[in-house]
Structure 1
Amino acid sequence: MKYMLIMRATDEAYAGMANADMNEMLETVGRFNDELIRAGVLVAAEGLDDAAEGVVVDYSSDPPVVTDGPYGETKELFGGFYILEVASKEEAVEWAKRVPSAGPGFKTEIRRVPSVDEFPQDNEWIQKERAWREATGQL
């Protein structure tokens, strides 16, 4: 089963990282990523650029409204993610407990990523997605 570990932090937690040694941080995260790779559970992992560089598309009106970041109403920003292929939610939780640079102001949300196999296989769009996944080596 695939699980997404969504890395979130408050503005204060990110501000606290501003003075962190980048090489030390990369070393710590790199060692953790290497553990995930050696365990055979890492599918993907990415960090995200500063929220101030992003935009939000709000579909509450027609046409949708685009607002530049940062997002003043957001208390916790989505800063990056891991996608793991593990046997259970409990295993995903155990990996999340080991995420480096987590501390006060940081949280990891864990969500299962449903497989294409869980959707109606007679649906035209599911068949097209399955064909795309097979053609790109994702199945």
Structure 2
Amino acid sequence: MRFMVLVKADRNSEAGVMPDERMLAEMGRFNEELVKAGVMQAGEGLHPSSKGARVRFSGSERTVTPGPFPEVEQLVAGFWIWKCASLQEAIDWARRCPNPMPGDSDLEIRQIFEAEDFGEALTPELRAQEDRLRADVAQQTAPLAPR
């Protein structure tokens, strides 16, 4: 199972306050543990919402709203993609995480849908398309071979 672990934003992350050396070192050690255990598949921090935008869909209409967004407690400051055997394993890893913010903070853990979760709605043609797209993405993001 794959899980997205969302690091919830706070006023500091939304103000663009960068983590200090101690936090970077603690998070680096935690990320090393995740990688060595075969859990971490990806992980990144996000710029504040002031550098982003939202696109709202209403029928055929699209409305773009530039950041920043006022609902700080609903925003995401970063994420990981973890491969775990269960939600409980993901929770166990999250409990080991250094506090990602200077004060109180939250991690939200959400399971990622896999192709099998869609049942018969994912026809063989749609599955082939999905497989092709994943292969294309993997090829585009693969490191260049040494020459």
The TM-score range, normalised by the shorter chain, is 0.7 to 0.9
Aligned counterparts of 1:133 and 1:62: Cα–Cα separation in 2: 28
Deviation at 1:73, TM superposition (A): 3.7
Secondary structure in 2 aligned to 1:66? strand
Aligned counterparts of 2:18 and 2:41: Cα–Cα separation in 1: 30
For the pair 1:77 / 2:78, whether they are aligned, the reply is: no
Aligned counterparts of 1:4 and 1:19: Cα–Cα separation in 2: 22
Sort the Cα spacing of 1:101 and 1:16 in 2 relative to 1 into closer, same or farther, 3 A. Answer: farther
Secondary structure in 2 aligned to 1:106? coil
For the pair 1:118 / 2:117, whether they are aligned, the reply is: yes
Secondary structure in 2 aligned to 1:64? strand
**Worse overlay, 128-137 or 25-34:** 128-137
**Worse overlay, 56-65 or 32-41:** 56-65
TM-score by length of 2: 0.78
TM-score by length of 1: 0.81
Deviation at 1:134, TM superposition (A): 4.6
For the pair 1:86 / 2:84, whether they are aligned, the reply is: yes
Aligned residues: 135
Q: 2:4, 2:111 within 8 Å by CA — same for their partners in 1?
A: yes
| One-letter amino acid of the counterpart of residue 70, structure 2 | G
Deviation at 1:60, TM superposition (A): 3.2
Residue 143 of structure 2 corresponds to which residue in structure 1? none
| One-letter amino acid of the counterpart of residue 115, structure 1 | E
Aligned counterparts of 2:34 and 2:19: Cα–Cα separation in 1: 23
Aligned counterparts of 1:14 and 1:133: Cα–Cα separation in 2: 32
Aligned counterparts of 2:94 and 2:117: Cα–Cα separation in 1: 25
Residue 35 of structure 2 corresponds to which residue in structure 1? 37
Secondary structure in 2 aligned to 1:29? helix
Aligned counterparts of 2:26 and 2:87: Cα–Cα separation in 1: 24
Structure 2 residues without counterparts, runs of 5 or longer? 140-147
Structure 1 residues without counterparts, runs of 5 or longer? none
Q: 1:36, 1:42 within 8 Å by CA — same for their partners in 2?
A: yes
- More helix per residue: 1 or 2? 2
| One-letter amino acid of the counterpart of residue 108, structure 1 | L
Aligned counterparts of 1:101 and 1:68: Cα–Cα separation in 2: 29
Residue 109 of structure 1 corresponds to which residue in structure 2? 108
Secondary structure in 1 aligned to 2:9? strand
Percent identity, please: 34
Residue 128 of structure 1 corresponds to which residue in structure 2? 129
Residue 7 of structure 2 corresponds to which residue in structure 1? 7
Aligned counterparts of 1:67 and 1:38: Cα–Cα separation in 2: 40
